[in-house]
Structure formats: C-alpha cells, structure tokens
Amino acid sequence: MKEYITLAHGSGGVEMHEILEKLFFKRVSDRFKRVEGGIGIDEPDDAAAIPIGGGKYLVVSIDAYTVNPPFFPGGNIGVLAASGSINDVLMLGGRPIALLDAIIVEEGFPLEDLEVIVDSLIKTLEEEGVALIGGDFKVMPKGQVDRITITTTGIGISEGPPITDNPRPGDKIIVSGYLGDHGAVILLAQLGLQSSETGLLKSDVKPLTKLMLPLLERYRACITAARDPTRGGLAGVLNEWASKTNTLIVIRDADVPVREPVRRYAEVLGVDPYYLASEGAAVLAVREECAVEVLEYIHKLGFTEARIIGEVRETDVFKGYVATETPIGGLRVVEPPRGEIVPRIC
C-alpha cells in the first residue's frame, strides 16, 4: 500500500521526525553525517558546525519559509526568514555574519508586496550586522507555487565548542519571554478570525542577537542546550531534549509566560499554547548553579518576562517524558506534537 506525504510531515512534530529518519538519517552512513570534528545530522538540530581551526567553528543553517499568509500582524515572510536563520545560528553558539537567500515567487505576485518583503529582510539583516552575500530568484507559473517561498542559508562563527542539545539532570529550563505569540497570530489569520481585538496580538518575530551574543560571551559554559521553539513550540523542544537524554523534564504551568489573549484564543480553538510557535523567544537549559545568575542577567538585557519554568530530572520511570505541574498540584504529561497543529507557520 502506497504511503503519501501529509501536512503533518512538515509541522515539526512526531511525523516530521519519522519522515526525516526514514528519508535521511537511516540512509546516510555515519561517516558522512558530519564533517570530521563537527556537528551535522548526527546531532539533528537547526544548524550544523564545521571546525575551522583555532578552536573555532563555522556554523551553517538552512531553512525554507512558506508562511501563510505572507503578511501577518507584527511582520511578514521577509523579516521571518532573516530572523529565523539568524536565530538558528545563535542557538548553536554562533555569531551570525552572513546570509544567502533563494526566493521563488508565483507569477502575478504584486511587485509592491515583493518590495516590502525584500526591504524587511534587508533591514533586519543590516540592523543585526549580517551581510547578504548571495542568493537566487525564480518565478513559477501561476498556480505552481503558493505566492512566495524564501529559503535562507545563515552563516556564523562560533568562538568555542558549539552548543549541542545535551541538558543534564539538575539543569534548569529558562525561557526568554512570552511563548506562542507567532503561532496564535498565524492560526487566527488562517481561520479568518482577525478582528479589532485579536489585531492587538502580534507575532513575536525578531532576531535574538541582543540576548544570545551577550549570554554566549559571559555564560557559554553554563548553557547545555538552546533552541528557539518554532514548529512544535515549547512542547516540541522539551520532548526532543527529554527523548535524547533519557531524562524527565518537569515544568510548572504557573511559571510559563503565555499572554492571556494567547491562552484564551488557544483554549477556544482547542490548542495547547505549549504547541504554538514562537519566533522571538529562546528556550535554554542552564546548569543549576548558574541559573539564577543567568536569569538575572537576561532581565538586565531587557528580556524582563524571562522565567525559570522547570528542571531536568533523573528518574527510573518516565524516562524521555515531559510533564507539567498544574496549578492544583497534579502532573500532566506533555506529549510530543502530532498532526497539523498550525500548518505553514514559518
């Protein structure tokens, strides 16, 4: 019986990891999953690292952006593409220095809209000191691509060993700010539920250089894992970490910063906010002895909504699970994301 690709295979959850395992991870022999001494698909992440001598690494990421709609409250596909690649480089411990882009546009796409998108991409890069060093531009016949797709390759330099996702028992989980804003905005837009009230809610899309570069300079040794919770949201990130390290990660509902409108709309639509994407937040695993100091420093950097939301635990049971402590004192398992939670969010 033939199997077919579904939207769930691109949503960042269980189905996506299964298809990547089937198509790539099992087919590429171990010696070709990375450059010697570096990090590649042997450590599945949003970026890879290649040693360049002197203890430094070239950090490279690639991503395709197909967000629907391409314009949304708080941004558009241009700023999303630039920010996403910058953040992927940062989360592996790199300082972003350059970007390449490939833009595919549908015949009939308004030139004025394309100019706004490109200007947003360029403005974001220039504000972050990232060079646009090359790219490609193609047009597809009407109906053969949905409006616009942007693929970006981000390049950075890591001054020390890259940050691999390796949280350890005792580590604290820190989030840098409100979660789920982007996913909520895109979901409301796709469902045609934008209104004067929901219009006050905006995507959080932004580069995280002002957070991560100071942290990497001062506290790199304290950070054992870092990720921006895009597709699959917080639940996706934490389940990947728990599964990889065979630990139990416990968070506290009361400590997870989610805007009240996001909670309310998510509840009405039957979506858990923990599965909604953020495009301007970081999730960090930080050594226990550093956690309070790191959090205070993050607050000084201007990320005042940052919180310690939980910790990594060693356990004989529930290995590889994520659980949350509810306000009434119970525990609820946070399953890895499955299905089409919000298709085409980035």
pLDDT, tens only, 109-127: 999 999 999 999 999 999 9
In whole angstroms, give the CA distance from residue 281 to residue 230.
9
Instruction: State mean pLDDT over 37-66.
Output: 93
pLDDT band at 328 (very low <50, low <70, confident <90, very high): confident
**Cα 109 to chain centroid, rounded:** 28
Flag whether pLDDT at 199 surpasses 80.
no
Domain 172-333 in the same topology as domain 34-158: no
pTM: 0.94
Give the distance between the most distant pair of CA atoms in the chain.
59
| Residue-range domain boundaries for the chain | 34-158, 172-333
Nearest-5° angle of CA 322, CA 324, CA 327? 175
Using the predicted structure, report yes or no on whether residue 195 has a pLDDT greater than 80.
Answer: no
Q: Are strands 172-175 and 283-286 parallel, antiparallel or unpaired?
A: antiparallel
Nearest-5° angle of CA 45, CA 47, CA 49?
110
**DSSP state for residue 151 in the 8-state scheme:** E
DSSP designation for 25:
I
CATH number, domain 172-333: 3.90.650.10
Pairing status of strand 321-325 against strand 331-333: antiparallel
Mean pLDDT across the chain? 94
CATH 3.40.50.300 fits 34-158, yes or no: no
Q: Please provide residue 125's backbone torsions phi and psi, each rounded to the nearest 5 degrees.
A: -65, -45
